[in-house]
Amino acid sequence: MIRVKLADLVPGMVTASDVFTTEGRFLLPAGSVLTERSIRLLKAWGLVEAVVDHDGPLPGGHDGRDADPRILAEAREINKKRFMHTNPYHPAIIELERLSAVRRAGYTAEGVDSAAPFDDGAKRLQFPKNLSVELQPINLGRLREFGLRLPTLPAVFDRVNEIIMNPKSSAGDIAQVVSKDSGLTSRLLGIVNSAFYGFVSKVDTVSRAVAIVGTKQLMSLVFGISIVKIFERIPADHIDMRQFWRHSVACGITSRIIAGYKQIQNTERLFVAGLLHDIGRLLLYHLWPEHALYVLNLSRRDSRLLYEVEREVLGMDPAIIGARMAEQWKFPFLLESNILYHHSPGASHNLLEASIINLADVLVNAMEMGSSGEVFVPPLDEAAWNALNISENLLTVIVDHTDRQLDEVMDYFFPESAEGET
């Protein structure tokens, strides 16, 4: 008896237990011989695995068995180092490492340079023998000043908020306000029409988007787009900005997908939390570039997790800086706490949401979807994994969905940053 991923099921396998949908609807009894049709049915119901009676290796080429063994072995060797801070016996880590090795092997076989900051980091950063630079202590007053200098959220955001608060207002009122900002409108409609939603027919007006996507959901997107618009022009020395935003957008997409599996309402809110989770690091590196260079070098030289080095050298986790900014800007409280606890979800009052961001961050690091400066896969928080209560077999589906959406969403968030530009 073995739990098999949907992609690995083949006709002729026999179910070892009754099969239900995630909502508990009965689909197939134990002892059913699977056919092409029944496998399609399981797929249509969104199942990710089934328990079948099966001995020996699984057919299909989903785990890298069709990759060149030498190339795959090389990928695994690199992964040994990348995953050194994770628990190698954890089922989710085993699965993520496997997916990541197959991906790396695929890149190598196709002659594509992987986006791997792990290799890139060594190329870009110098490794001075003496790292004992004199660093001035971080002055949080400077962060406050900087926050005050930042433009406030666009007026359109306040206006839409007012309309939402007013019980007499309609979707048309929101659409009217948003439509006045043409940049916002085109990004918003771009995302609504992308694989992010996967709608069959084109949504060409904001009022239609409000009707289909929902007011709160659309507001979350407007919020995310507005904040990114402000921060996208803040360069942080020593971080590849394109990779930083790719990491952030990927984490947002992954968080939203996981939230969907946990039946959370307004999954767009989790998208925004994932999108902004590392904003503290961006600010920190922007304001204190010499500290940034020091911690980046130290973490690579000593093979230590970046946020641990940051905690030690800077005396604080950048997540705290992110949360302080969120507070200063009066972000919704849950968003602030999701940013604050993404490295330590067990300490959050909303364990489930912080756990979603924690897993999403681990996943996008593992799959090398961009980078916010970290070259190692951060550890998956045990409490987070337990709180999420999902199968490790779902991870391949989540990675797949994120892959399908990432490039398109990146293009709508950063339309002017052409490929290759950093």
User: Which residues make up the interface to Fe ion (CB under 5 A)?
Assistant: 278, 361, 372
The least CB distance from residue 310 to Fe ion, in Å, is: 9
The least CB distance from residue 410 to Fe ion, in Å, is: 16
The least CB distance from residue 319 to Fe ion, in Å, is: 6
- Report how far residue 415's alpha carbon sits from residue 422's, in angstroms, rounded to the nearest whole number: 13
Which among 366, 101, 112 has a CA at the least distance from the CA of 250? 366
The least CB distance from residue 378 to Fe ion, in Å, is: 7
Closest CB to Fe ion among residues 275, 397:
275
Closest CB to Fe ion among residues 63, 278:
278
The least CB distance from residue 59 to Fe ion, in Å, is: 37
Considering only CA atoms, give the Rg of the chain: 23
Closest CB to Fe ion among residues 203, 306:
306
Tell me the CA end-to-end span of the chain in Å, nearest whole number: 50
Structure tokens at 313: 């050298």
The least CB distance from residue 339 to Fe ion, in Å, is: 9
The least CB distance from residue 231 to Fe ion, in Å, is: 15
The least CB distance from residue 200 to Fe ion, in Å, is: 33
Which among 94, 101, 96 has a CA at the least distance from the CA of 72? 101
3-class secondary structure, 368 = coil
The least CB distance from residue 172 to Fe ion, in Å, is: 38
Q: What angle do CA 117, 84, 279 make, to 5 degrees?
A: 45
Q: Which residues pair with 2 in a beta bridge?
A: 52
| Residues found in the chain | 422
Closest CB to Fe ion among residues 189, 323:
323
Fill in the DSSP letter of residue 7. G
3-class secondary structure, 281 = helix
- Report how far residue 343's alpha carbon sits from residue 359's, in angstroms, rounded to the nearest whole number: 10
The least CB distance from residue 275 to Fe ion, in Å, is: 11
Continuous segment of H or E residues that includes residue 19: strand 19-20
Closest CB to Fe ion among residues 372, 393:
372
Closest CB to Fe ion among residues 372, 396:
372
Strand 19-20, strand 2-5: pairing: unpaired
Residue pair 95/49 in contact (Cβ under 8 Å)? The answer is: no
Angle of the 279-287 helix axis to the 215-231 helix axis, nearest 10? 20
Closest CB to Fe ion among residues 50, 360:
360
Closest CB to Fe ion among residues 49, 278:
278
- Residue 168 class from Cβ within 10 Å (0-12 exposed, 13-18 middle, 19+ buried)? exposed
DSSP 83-143: TTTS-TT-HHHHHHHHHHHHHHHHHHHHTPPP--HHHHHHHHS---S------PPP-HHHH
Closest CB to Fe ion among residues 16, 275:
275
